[in-house]
């Protein structure tokens, strides 16, 4: 196996499964080079349906170079309503052209404003908002600019077909480990998992310092100096004088610390100044890091990803997924016994079942056999256990399981070099592309 770059290893992605040299090149030269279209599961009524019974106006919006949260904020500002009345199924990267569903509570279609680089289509009305569970997956079309060695594409594809367990007659199916991508942890300063791990260990002070301190070489000099100052002095009031205004979450935490006495409850209260979705992200990132470590350890152990071994826990395909998109349903799981390995392997080969690993939480039941040994060894190395996620309020998590590999039908156009594929919700296009580029994410 080929070792990954340091910044990837820092978030648990230790390896590439393709040993072939990368193609190099650049992603996102322009937003149009990274196109994402949602595959959703959401039924609507006609736009002229009774707004009393169907108060949510559903929109299909194509955005160019918009952060999802920023667009929701701009839309609510222009409508003069609370941002809480704007909902969506999936948060997308900014440097892209994205097509996705939004819903807005309690407005008429003629009230919609014009916003730059946003094409808004009214789909209909609904009795509830669009939510995360309404997203089945995404279609991607991603262009790589100025590849250094485009001739390596075929060798990499062959390696990914082998990892998928693709049959001889199948020229399109590839698979990669279902790692959480770099952006899950912070693309320029991957620290959210460090915050979450400290929270799980009950170290509220350590969690705050991982977020407000912890300078990164890839941040502006003034930001690095501010973070270093707060680490060295713990002088919260003086630090506020140094922190740039755009670091609003850090500044809110420091304001809360100025009011306290540096007790554990003060540090927890400082973290709780962050928006609830960010509080949840801290814990989710810790779970994601542990999951990535488990996948890397499974690769080291030589355990398969495309088929189960005794002791594995598999989940089955979602029966309601859109045509042409296979989505794991982690609410339907089965533990693989010795007598069931062969039959479950056939289900996996046909895309009806998937080997899983835990996103650890209070309800996590670890696998048996060799897979269970891998999971327990990683938890021991990280220094946490499922019960540690019995946390207050937004930090609490029961956990779930996640497929260890993601398979997709891949088509490649050569001029320009463009990769088209579909992934279920929660899987990262950049994790597929990293196998091809093999480029240091920290390189600028």
Give me the long-range contacts of 380-384 (CB less than 8 A, separation at least 24).
381/293, 382/197, 382/289, 382/290, 382/293, 383/197, 383/201, 384/197, 384/200, 384/201, 384/286, 384/290, 384/360
Is 21 in the active site? no
Asked if the model's pLDDT at residue 276 lies above 70, the reply is yes
Query: Which positions ≥6 away from 241 have C-beta within 8 Å?
Result: none
pLDDT of residue 151: 97
User: Pick from 57, 45, 53, 37: which is nearest to 130 by CA?
Assistant: 57
What residues form DSSP beta bridges with 88?
102
Digit-coded pLDDT (tens) for 138-153: 999 999 999 999 999 9
Q: Considering the chain, what is the average pLDDT of its residues?
A: 94
Q: Residues spanned by CATH 3.30.70.3160 within the chain?
A: 33-136
In terms of CATH, what superfamily is 278-403? TruD, catalytic domain (3.30.2350.20)
pLDDT of residue 444: 59
Digit-coded pLDDT (tens) for 49-95: 999 999 999 999 999 999 998 999 999 999 999 989 999 998 888 89
Question: What number is the average pLDDT over the span 12-34?
Answer: 96
Give CA–CA dist 272/250, Å, rounded.
11
Digit-coded pLDDT (tens) for 175-233: 999 999 998 998 778 999 999 999 999 999 999 999 999 998 889 999 999 999 999 99
Residue 389 Cα distances to 30, 54, 87, 393, angstroms: 40, 37, 27, 11
Asked if the model's pLDDT at residue 168 lies above 80, the reply is no
Catalytic residue chosen out of the listed positions 14, 93, 159, 388: 93
What pTM did the predictor assign?
Answer: 0.93
CA-atom Rg of the chain in angstroms: 23
Q: Which residues of 92-124 are buried (b: 16+ CB within 10 A; e: fewer)?
A: bbbbbbbbbbbbbbebeeeebeebeebebeebb
Give CA–CA dist 433/441, Å, rounded.
12
Residue 187 Cα distances to 192, 350, 388, angstroms: 10, 35, 27
Both tokens of residue 184? Answer: 């899950």
Give CA–CA dist 364/385, Å, rounded.
9
Digit-coded pLDDT (tens) for 399-427: 999 999 999 999 999 999 999 999 999 99
Q: What are phi and psi of 406, to 5 degrees?
A: -125, 125
Asked if the model's pLDDT at residue 290 lies above 90, the reply is yes
Alpha helices of 20-79 — where are they, by DSSP H?
68-79
Q: Which CATH number fits domain 192-274: 3.40.449.10, 1.25.50.10, 1.10.1510.30, 1.10.3720.10?
A: 1.10.1510.30
Are 37 and 139 in contact, with CB atoms under 8 Å apart? yes
Question: What number is the average pLDDT over the span 341-347?
Answer: 95
Higher pLDDT, 173 or 133: 173
Q: Residues spanned by CATH 3.30.2350.20 within the chain?
A: 278-403
Asked if the model's pLDDT at residue 46 lies above 70, the reply is yes
pLDDT of residue 62: 97
With pLDDT > 90 as the criterion, what percentage of the chain qualifies? 88
Spelled out in words, what is the top-level CATH class assigned to the domain 33-136? alpha beta
């Amino acid at each position: 196996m080929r070792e990954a770059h340091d910044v990837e290893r820092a978030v648990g992605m230790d390896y590439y499964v393709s040993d072939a040299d990368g193609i190099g090149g650049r992603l996102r030269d322009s937003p149009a080079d990274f196109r994402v279209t949602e595959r959703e599961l959401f039924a609507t009524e006609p736009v002229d349906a009774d707004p009393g019974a169907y108060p949510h106006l559903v929109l299909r919006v194509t955005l160019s170079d918009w952060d999802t949260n920023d667009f929701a904020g701009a839309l609510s500002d222009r409508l003069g309503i609370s941002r809480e009345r704007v909902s969506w199924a999936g948060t997308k990267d900014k440097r892209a052209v994205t097509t996705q569903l939004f819903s807005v509570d309690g407005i008429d279609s003629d009230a919609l404003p014009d916003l730059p680089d946003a094409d808004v289509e009214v789909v209909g009305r609904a009795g509830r908002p669009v939510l995360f569970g309404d997203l089945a997956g995404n279609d991607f079309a991603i262009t790589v600019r100025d590849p250094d060695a485009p001739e390596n594409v075929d060798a990499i594809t062959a390696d990914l077909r082998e990892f998928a367990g693709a049959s001889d007659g199948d020229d399109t199916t590839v698979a990669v480990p279902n790692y959480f991508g770099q952006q899950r942890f912070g693309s320029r300063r991957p620290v959210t998992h460090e915050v979450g791990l400290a929270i799980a260990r009950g170290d509220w002070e350590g969690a705050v310092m991982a977020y407000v301190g912890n300078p990164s070489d890839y941040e502006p000099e003034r930001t690095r100096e501010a973070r270093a100052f707060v680490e060295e002095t713990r002088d919260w009031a003086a630090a506020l004088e140094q922190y740039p205004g755009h670091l609003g979450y850090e500044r809110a935490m420091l304001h809360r610390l100025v009011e306290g006495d540096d007790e554990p409850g003060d540090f927890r209260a400082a973290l709780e100044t962050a928006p609830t979705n960010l509080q949840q992200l801290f814990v989710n990132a810790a779970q994601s890091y542990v999951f990535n470590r488990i996948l890397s350890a499974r690769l080291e152990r030589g355990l398969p990803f495309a088929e189960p071994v005794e002791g594995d826990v598999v989940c089955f395909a979602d029966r309601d997924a859109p045509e042409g998109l296979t989505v794991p349903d982690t609410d339907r799981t089965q533990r693989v016994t010795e007598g069931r390995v062969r039959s479950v392997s056939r289900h996996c080969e046909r895309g009806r079942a998937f080997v899983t690993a835990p996103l650890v939480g209070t309800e996590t039941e670890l696998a048996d056999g060799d897979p269970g040994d891998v999971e327990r060894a990683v938890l021991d190395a990280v220094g946490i256990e499922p019960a540690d996620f019995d946390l207050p309020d937004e930090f609490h998590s029961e956990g779930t399981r996640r497929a260890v590999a993601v398979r997709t039908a891949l088509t490649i156009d050569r001029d320009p070099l463009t990769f088209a594929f579909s992934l279920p919700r929660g899987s990262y296009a950049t994790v597929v592309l990293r196998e091809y580029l093999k480029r240091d994410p920290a390189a600028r």
